Amino acid sequence: MRLRLPRLRWPQVTIRRSTRYGANTALVLLLVLGVVVVVEAISVRQSKQFDLTANKRYTLSLQTRRLLGGLQQPIKVTAFYQEGGPGRQPLNDLLKEYAHQGAKLSFEFVDPDRNPKKAQEYKVTAYGTTVVESGDKREKVTGTSEEELTNAVIKATRKGKKAIYFVKGHGEGDPASTAKEGLGQLKAALQDANFEVKELVLLREAKLPDDAAAVILAGPKKELLPPEVKVLDDYLRQRKGRLLAMIDPDQVPGLVKFLAGSYVVVGDDVIIDRLSRVFAGDYFTPVVSQYEDHKISKDLRAASFFPLARSVDVKPPADKKVQAKVLARTGAESWAETNKRLLAQGKAQYDEGQDKKGPVPVAAVVEIKDVAPPETPPGLPPNPEEVKKAERPGTRLVVFGDSDFVTNTYLGLSGNRDLILNTVSWLAEEEDLIAVRARRPETRPIVLTANQGKIAFWVPVVGVPLLVVGVGAGVVARRRLRK
């Protein structure tokens, strides 16, 4: 006899659609939250950011990175700002980048209202003041730009100031002048780099001052007198001096002859460059975009512009202690015009065999090593490695075929500023200051024609809202038809 047992029926659990959707949403949120936590954990250890601006305005310049990476002593930055005060957040972002690049740099923000004692200790009387200190030296900054902050770090870490002398009395550019042809901006840039700028009248000096780290001849219009030339010659040859000479076309043939004795050949010509028309210049403003391998120019990428320049070349030295080389050249579309009569008529053409075809050298550098032979046992040749170690910087000479490129009008143009500041830094043996400097913010306005202005108004202001309204009306009408 079989017994039939009743079939067991388990209760069916009905999952509502809303519950299922809620569970899926919660799962997605948990996954997103997990991804965010993992990304944040990774970013704490390894952060990476990208600067998409055209001129990389949010990326620290090579000069700043090199300066911070080579710090030998701790640097403390104290910024006196109110909570939420103007300029605080941009400065905070900038200082974070500084601290990331330089392990020896630290910073803090202080509210002068909440901590007046510290403000009094640092002698701060205004909001927005930043104090950079190294040891017992303090430098104050009132701006939030990289250029100002880097200059303050340079001044705080340098012991003393090296003197740069500008020769005057022959029609040279005036470092105290703010006129278009003056050198006031160059003087300010040198002072920001912790140089002391002085003026020098050669006729009053029997010899150049002992503290002269470099001497600058910025476009003399009149010849130097024989006693003045002798002072310069003694400074270069006997005292292993540092000279920067900028000579414009058709000027000071006597000085040109003097420089020929230092392996520099200054041409009696004027450089013509067709490429300059592309940059809204004239044919007499050659574009210098080819830099030779030298400490002055190795990091330069931006072109320089030399209004009215002459060629400057070198002749091979016979002495192995002398290094003479071209520093910069113009483009292939340029040439050095020697026919002055044709130029006076407003005409110019390249003549094979007479003119120098581009690229034309426009700057030259000469260095004479000061070698102190190492002591070696009698009868044995000197060790080449020991001889190399014994080499010390001696005479340094840089010659440009133009002086206008450092005037107030053209100093801020493209790579002109970096080129001249690198040159002075190399002459003064401040090689760690040789780099591309902080970029200044660029303003790029959008200029629209009348028709473009109308389109820019009607499309986003009128057209897009009407399109949204039309789509919405269509959706509503379609739903009513379905019902």
Record the pTM: 0.73
pLDDT of residue 435: 64
pLDDT of residue 136: 86
Q: Which of 198, 201, 253 is nearest to 222 (CA)?
A: 253
pLDDT of residue 263: 94
Q: Are strands 361-371 and 356-357 parallel, antiparallel or unpaired?
A: unpaired
Gap between the Cα atoms of 292 and 214, Å rounded: 22
CATH fold match for the domains 62-152 and 162-429 = no
- Positive or negative CA dihedral for 187, 193, 198, 199? negative
Q: What is the 3-state secondary structure (H, E, C) of 200-224?
A: ECHHHCCCCCCCEEEEEEECCCCCC
pLDDT of residue 53: 63
pLDDT of residue 12: 52
pLDDT of residue 442: 54
Q: Are 333 and 275 in contact (CB under 8 A)?
A: yes
The domain 62-152 having CATH identifier 3.40.30.10: the answer here is yes
End-to-end CA separation in angstroms for the chain:
63
* Residue ranges per structural domain of the chain: 62-152, 162-429
pLDDT of residue 467: 87
pLDDT of residue 343: 80
- CATH superfamily of domain region 162-429: Class I glutamine amidotransferase (GATase) domain (3.40.50.880)
Q: Which of 294, 287, 285, 284 is nearest to 326 (CA)?
A: 294
Amino acid of residue 84: G
Mean pLDDT by 10 residues, the chain (483 residues): 57 60 80 84 66 67 84 92 89 90 90 92 91 90 86 86 94 94 95 93 90 95 94 91 96 95 94 74 85 89 91 90 93 90 81 89 91 58 58 84 95 92 92 67 61 81 85 83 74
